[in-house]
């Protein structure tokens, strides 16, 4: 007896997303589905370029099938590859589909019926509510008839309300409308309605006052925090100390970032949360940028920043990470112009560097401690024997005037200084005749020689114990 193939409960029907192909796992009995299997579509997060190539090969309209439509359950059948056996090393991508006939175009040009638009709630400001309540309060004083000053006014308010309530209850039980009530009962009901309306409006006004008071208290508490933009923006010394910018430069930076600062999607681990959905943004964009610059400049921990700004540590982490990514996206395209050529600062060299000819920059690597990864292969790659810790390593280039002109991407801590020079793209910025100062670990003289540049490193002591003699040789070599 043949074994019956049992289908797992979590496995659904697999459909082919290629062109107008209608293959799926329900039609395995058809002749054209013999030896056909389904290949998972490349995921945009891990294989972005391959995913875009496969999407283009599918030949479908961009609005109907794009990177955002790729899910875990997106598949392509093996029929659309060379030989019909799926992707190979020689042909890893499917054959391009030609969707040019009218029937295929009409199929993909169909649009779903637009969903019924939800009614948007009317936004009413607190000022409008307060104004309307005051107007209603003034109008309610005119609701009482002229003969209110007669015997009906002499009634005690509690007795009037009790009598009105009893009459309204009796009227409701007997189905009697308000117009059929006696005149004296109408007058009592009018007094009751006026008192009830006045109490309701006064309650509304008190609630608005409480809300406005709480908002003012929040603003005052934000201004009274140990460190805030409002408290030091007029002090140039403190602004320069905590942010590295003067207040005018800070405003220019905010203007350069544009309107994107008002529509941020905040980073929160693996998930993201949009500010528009939460509706509560405790800090303005200026305050959030100020928080980010303070941590960049002073290097405070998350807990210290939380104490300074009066918020939780998780909020500091979310704000800092979001703005760090925003600044990276805005300034990453300026890498090529932030590395100036040597003639830009030749006339403003510090005195100690004026004896060096054609100096371009000083380079060195810095390492950042990171947590030990779970993957054993990455543990070995990230471990730095110099720091005895798992680190990430980056190459920094500093101009003679002290400005940082080059920052490479991060590399694993076990990589050598020479390998970073080769892989980071630093050599692409070097011009013939440039002089590069480096530490002894940078054995890159041959790499710079290929670019007609010169490397200058401190001399090795070797067998000689007279370091002053070697320093003299080093300085004389620099002056050449």
**pLDDT category of residue 70 using cuts at 50, 70 and 90:** confident
Say what the pTM is.
0.47
More confident site: 80 or 120: 80
* Cα–Cα dist 284/468, whole Å: 58
Q: State the average pLDDT over residues 75-82.
A: 84
Share of the chain above pLDDT 90, in %: 23
CA 23 to chain centre: 40
Residue 468, pLDDT above cutoff 70: no
pLDDT tens for residues 235-275? 999 999 999 999 999 999 999 998 888 888 888 765 544 44
Closest alpha carbon to 219 in 323, 127, 310, 315: 310
Is the separation of the CB atoms in 5 and 16 below 8 Å? no
Residue 62, pLDDT above cutoff 90: no
Give the model's pLDDT for residue 419: 93
| Phi and psi torsions of 394, nearest 5° | -140, 150
pLDDT tens for residues 10-58? 457 888 888 778 788 887 777 777 788 888 888 888 888 888 888 888 8
Q: State the average pLDDT over residues 297-312.
A: 90
Among the residue ranges 111-115, 134-138, 185-189, 368-372, the one predicted with the least confidence is: 185-189
Give the model's pLDDT for residue 145: 46
Maximal C-alpha separation, the chain: 122
Q: State the average pLDDT over residues 360-375.
A: 90
Name, of 195-209, 348-362, 384-398, the range with top average pLDDT: 384-398
More confident site: 131 or 315: 315
Give the model's pLDDT for residue 322: 92
* Cα–Cα dist 1/3, whole Å: 6
Residue 397, pLDDT above cutoff 90: yes
Closest alpha carbon to 150 in 180, 190, 198: 190
């Amino acid at each position: 007896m043949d074994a019956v193939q049992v289908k797992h409960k979590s496995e659904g029907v697999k459909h082919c997303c290629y062109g107008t192909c209608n293959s799926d796992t329900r039609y395995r009995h058809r002749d054209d589905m013999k030896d056909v299997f389904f290949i998972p579509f490349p995921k945009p997060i891990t294989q972005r370029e391959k995913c875009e190539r496969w999407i283009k090969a599918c030949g479908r309209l961009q609005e109907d099938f794009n990177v955002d439509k790729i899910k875990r359950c997106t598949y392509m059948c093996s029929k659309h590859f060379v030989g019909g056996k799926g992707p190979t090393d020689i042909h890893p991508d499917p054959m391009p589909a030609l969707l040019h006939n009218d029937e295929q175009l009409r199929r993909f040009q169909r649009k779903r019926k637009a969903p019924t638009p939800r009614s948007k709630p009317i936004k009413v400001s607190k000022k409008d509510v307060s104004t309307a309540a005051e107007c209603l309060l003034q109008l309610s004083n005119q609701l009482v008839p002229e003969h209110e000053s007669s015997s009906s006014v002499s009634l005690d308010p509690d007795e009037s309300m009790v009598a009105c309530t009893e009459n309204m209850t009796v009227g409701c039980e007997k189905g009697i409308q308000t117009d059929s009530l006696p005149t004296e009962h109408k007058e009592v009901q009018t007094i009751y309605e006026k008192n009830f309306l006045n109490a309701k409006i006064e309650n509304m006004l008190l609630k608005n006052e409480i809300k406005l008071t709480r908002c003012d208290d929040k603003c005052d508490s934000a201004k009274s925090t140990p460190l805030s933009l409002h408290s030091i923006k007029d002090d140039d010394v403190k602004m320069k100390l905590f942010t590295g910018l003067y207040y005018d430069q800070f405003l220019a930076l905010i203007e350069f970032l544009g309107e994107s600062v008002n529509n941020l999607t905040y980073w929160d681990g693996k998930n993201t949360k949009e500010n528009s959905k939460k509706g509560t943004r405790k800090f303005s964009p200026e305050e959030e940028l100020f928080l980010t610059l303070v941590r960049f400049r002073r290097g405070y921990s998350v807990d210290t920043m939380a104490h300074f700004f009066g918020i939780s540590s998780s909020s500091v982490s979310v704000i800092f990470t979001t703005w760090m990514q925003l600044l990276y996206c805005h300034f990453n395209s300026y890498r090529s112009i932030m590395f100036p050529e040597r003639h830009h600062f030749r006339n403003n060299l510090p005195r100690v560097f004026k004896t060096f000819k054609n100096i371009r920059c000083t380079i060195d690597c810095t390492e950042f401690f990171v947590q030990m990864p779970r993957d054993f292969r990455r543990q070995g790659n990230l471990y730095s024997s110099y720091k005895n810790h798992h680190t990430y390593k980056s190459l920094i280039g500093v101009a003679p005037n002290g400005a940082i002109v080059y920052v490479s991407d991060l590399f694993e801590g076990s990589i050598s200084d020479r390998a970073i020079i080769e892989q980071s793209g630093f050599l692409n910025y070097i011009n013939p005749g440039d002089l590069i100062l480096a530490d002894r670990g940078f054995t890159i003289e041959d790499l710079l020689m290929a670019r007609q540049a010169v490397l200058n490193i401190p001399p090795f002591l070797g067998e000689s114990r007279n370091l002053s003699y070697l320093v003299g040789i080093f300085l004389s070599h620099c002056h050449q």
